[in-house]
Each structure stands twice: as structure tokens, then as C-alpha cells.
């Protein structure tokens, strides 16, 4: 199993059934169908008070949400797992939901980034899809092609249609390349000014239109560090639902180790050996350097390089 947070979504998306309105309507009231609630882009979570157990997404049947579902902003069909269907429902327009003790019980609306480390891998995978879809539906509400007509939601939350100019809009994913430059037995980590003190991470940047992953990695490395990448090796990806990014993890061998940092983007960078990184992992870095936590793909890339 992939250990990367947000990468283990157990749902079969059954995308071919999303536009089948009769089928979608027929499963809504099925006793096996469950709903997860979002309020202001935060999912409703049953927090664990026992540290040995995971917190969990709180799920509801149609009957439990009956009086709210018709008033919901919208529903998104997420998919099926073991024959059971799952929907995300946005109830941001129903402020009283937070005062409804039958719904809330001990649960809380918690932002995905802060709760993810306390959830099972499968729960984070479901939230990667659900949170991105909720954010996309909230962001793309009016037609950007003609003069701002309100879009109609189609395909169980996966398509929007402008009934004026007939343009269709589909969920977007913003790709980001994230990479470790490698020279001989060392890798480069950099720090942005906005990072917490002494935290260093992989270099990263948005893929641009008309650009390959390889070209984006080479460009970002050169812009940020002045280094010249000789080759680019794709490793793995991580959905990052803030709001709908895809992190594309790569390694790149570089021609030499002479840095020319773009101080606007990278205020400092360090070449680190596997031994240096081992010291960082056990909290014994001489410079008190630390790296992002395990949920970050940068962390997983560093571990991957250390063990290969
Ligand atoms: Zn339009």
C-alpha cells in the first residue's frame, strides 16, 4: 500500500454512472448509501479521544439527513466501496446544522489539512476526492465564458453547464512539480521565507501550460537554485486537496553543485547527505534543520532517495 497521505482512495468512482440521473436518484435513499457532510469546506469528523485510535469521517444515512438533503447547496457522488455508495453533501447554507445535536453529537467540522494525520489512509483518500470536489463546486459557480450566468450542476456534481452559451466545465486539477536535485551523494533542500524557522524542503512549482513534467522540473530547479538538471526521474504523485492540486514527485541529477539562489523564492538551500538526513530524522541536526512531516510528499521523496 502507498503510504502517502491522500493517495489511498478505496472508492470505485463508477464515473460512467454519474450522468444516469435515474440511477443516482435510486441509490440516494438506499439503506447502504452514506453521506459525509461539509460545512465551509470542512468535513464533519468524529475526533478520537484515544490517541491509539484514528479519528473518522462521520457518515450518515439518507433518513438521518432527510430534512437537510433537499435544502443542501449540492450533492457530489463520490463512488462505491463494497457495493455501498458514498456522497458528499455541502450544508454550508444551513447554519443551524452546527446546533443540531442529533447530527453533531461529539463530531466537529475540522479542516482537512489539520485532521489528515489523525485519519486512516483510506479516509484521507476519500477526503482528497471529496474536498477537491466541494472546493471546485464552490469556486466555479458562474460562467466565465459568457456574461456570468449561473451554472447548472450536472453529472452528480462532476460537470457544470452554462445554459446560455452551452459551455461545459469539468473539475480541474492543478499539477505541481516537486523535486529533489541530486549531485553525487547529496540532495538539495531549500527554504522559502514563509517556512517556519529552520524548516527545509524539496523545491516545487506549478506546471505551466504547454510544458512537460520534465521541462517544468528543469525550469523550476534552474529558476530557484541556478542548477542545471541533466535528467528527471518521476517517482510518485500525491493528490493535495488545497484546493485541487496534484503533487508530482521527481528526482533530478544536476550538472554541478554551484548554487545561484533566487532570493525571492529561496532564501537558503543546503546540500545534505544520507547521513545528514538521518541526523535530521532523529532530531540531531547540527544546524537544527527539520523537514516537513510525513503527510507531505517532500518527506516521502526524501525517504525514498535515502533508501535507494
Ligand atoms: Zn456561458
Q: How far is the CA of 247 from the centre of ligand 1 (A)?
A: 31
What residues have their beta carbon closer than 5 A to ion ligand 1? 143, 145-146, 162, 164-165, 167
**What is the Å distance from ligand 1's center to 198 Cα?**
48
Question: Over its length of 308 residues, how does the chain's per-residue pLDDT go in tens digits?
Answer: 456 799 999 999 999 999 999 999 999 999 999 999 999 999 999 999 888 899 999 999 999 998 899 999 999 999 999 989 999 999 999 999 999 999 999 999 999 999 999 999 999 999 999 999 999 999 999 999 997 899 999 999 999 999 999 999 999 999 999 999 999 999 999 999 999 999 999 999 999 999 999 999 999 999 999 999 999 999 999 999 999 999 999 999 999 999 999 999 999 999 999 999 999 999 999 999 999 999 999 999 999 999 98
Distance (Å, whole) CA 91 – CA 98: 10
What is the CB neighbour count within 10 angstroms for residue 185?
Answer: 10
Torsions phi, psi for 21 (to 5 deg): -60, -40
Nearest to 9 by CA among 131, 154, 139, 177: 131
Ligand 1 mean position, distance from CA 42 (Å): 30
C-alpha cell at position 42: 470542512
Alpha-helical (H) ranges within the chain are 21-28, 62-69, 101-104, 112-115, 121-139, 213-225, 274-281, 297-306
- 170 Cα to the center of ligand 1, angstroms: 14
User: Cα of 287 to ligand 1 centre, how many Å?
Assistant: 55
What sign does the CA torsion over 130, 134, 136, 142 have?
positive
Whole-number Å distance, alpha carbon 146 to ligand 1 midpoint, is 4
Q: What per-residue confidence (pLDDT) applies to 242?
A: 97
Distance in Å, CA 141 to ligand 1 centroid: 11
Grid coordinates of 232: 528527471
Confirm or reject CATH 3.40.50 for domain 15-135, answering yes or no: no
Q: Name the CATH topology of 174-306.
A: Nucleoside Triphosphate Pyrophosphohydrolase (3.90.79)
Q: How far is CA 245 from its chain centroid?
A: 6
DSSP per position, 60-81: E-HHHHHHHHTTSSEEEEEEEE
- From ligand 1's centre to the CA of 210, what distance in Å? 25
Strands 74-81 and 229-240: unpaired
Q: In sequence order, what E strands does the chain have?
A: 34-39, 42-46, 56-57, 59-60, 74-81, 84-90, 108-109, 152-154, 159-161, 168-169, 174-183, 186-191, 203-206, 229-240, 245-254, 268-273
Return the SS3 of 104.
helix
Distance 148 CA to ligand 1 centre (A): 7
Residue owning grid cell 541536526: 285
For residue 47, which of 4, 105, 96, 134 has the smallest C-alpha distance?
A: 105
Distance CA 297, CA 289 (A): 18
* Residue (of 232, 227, 218, 254) closest to 301 by Cα position: 232
> What's the gap in Å between 251 CA and the centre of ligand 1?
42
- 3-class state of residue 195 by DSSP: coil
Q: How far away, in angstroms, is 274 Cα from ligand 1 center?
A: 54
Kindly give the distance from the C-alpha atom of residue 150 to the centroid of ligand 1, in angstroms, as a whole number.
8
- Please return the burial class of 308, using the count of CB atoms within 10 Å of its CB with bins 0-12, 13-18 and 19+: exposed
Q: Are 122 and 9 a contacting pair, CB within 8 Å?
A: yes
Phi-psi region of 198 (alpha: psi -120 to 50; beta: other; left: phi over 0): left
- For ligand 1, the distance from its centroid to the CA atom of residue 138, given in whole angstroms, is 17
Which among 40, 176, 60 has a CA at the least distance from the CA of 112?
40
Q: How far is the CA of 161 from the centre of ligand 1 (A)?
A: 8
Amino acid at each position: 500500500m502507498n503510504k502517502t497521505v491522500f493517495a489511498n482512495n478505496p472508492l470505485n468512482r463508477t464515473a460512467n454512472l454519474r450522468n444516469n440521473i435515474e440511477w443516482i436518484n435510486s441509490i440516494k435513499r438506499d439503506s447502504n448509501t452514506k453521506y459525509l457532510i461539509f460545512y465551509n469546506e470542512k468535513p464533519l469528523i468524529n475526533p478520537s479521544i484515544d490517541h491509539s485510535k484514528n479519528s473518522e469521517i462521520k457518515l450518515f444515512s439518507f433518513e438521518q439527513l432527510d430534512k437537510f438533503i433537499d435544502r443542501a447547496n449540492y450533492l457530489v457522488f463520490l463512488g462505491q466501496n463494497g457495493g455501498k455508495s458514498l456522497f458528499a453533501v455541502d450544508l454550508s447554507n444551513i447554519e443551524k446544522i452546527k446546533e443540531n445535536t442529533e447530527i453533531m453529537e461529539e463530531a466537529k467540522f475540522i479542516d482537512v489539512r489539520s485532521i489528515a494525520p489523525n485519519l486512516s489512509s483510506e479516509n484521507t483518500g476519500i477526503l482528497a476526492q471529496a474536498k477537491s470536489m466541494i472546493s471546485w463546486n464552490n469556486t466555479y459557480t458562474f460562467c466565465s465564458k459568457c456574461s456570468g450566468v449561473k451554472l447548472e450542476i450536472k453529472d452528480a456534481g462532476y460537470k457544470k453547464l452554462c445554459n446560455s452559451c452551452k459551455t461545459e466545465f469539468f473539475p480541474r486539477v492543478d499539477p505541481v512539480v516537486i523535486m529533489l536535485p541530486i549531485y553525487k551523494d547529496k540532495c538539495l533542500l531549500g527554504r522559502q521565507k514563509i517556512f517556519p524557522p529552520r524548516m527545509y524542503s524539496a523545491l516545487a512549482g506549478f506546471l505551466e501550460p504547454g510544458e512537460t513534467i520534465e521541462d517544468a522540473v528543469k525550469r523550476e530547479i534552474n529558476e530557484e537554485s541556478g542548477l542545471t538538471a541533466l535528467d528527471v526521474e518521476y517517482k510518485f504523485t500525491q493528490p493535495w486537496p488545497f484546493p485541487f492540486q496534484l503533487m508530482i514527485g521527481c528526482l533530478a541529477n544536476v550538472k554541478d553543485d554551484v548554487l545561484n539562489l533566487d532570493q525571492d523564492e529561496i532564501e537558503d538551500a543546503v546540500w545534505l547527505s544520507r547521513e545528514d538526513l538521518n541526523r535530521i530524522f532523529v532530531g540531531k541536526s547540527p544546524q537544527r534543520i527539520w523537514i516537513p512531516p510525513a503527510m507531505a510528499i517532500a518527506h516521502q521523496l526524501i525517504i525514498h532517495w535515502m533508501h535507494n
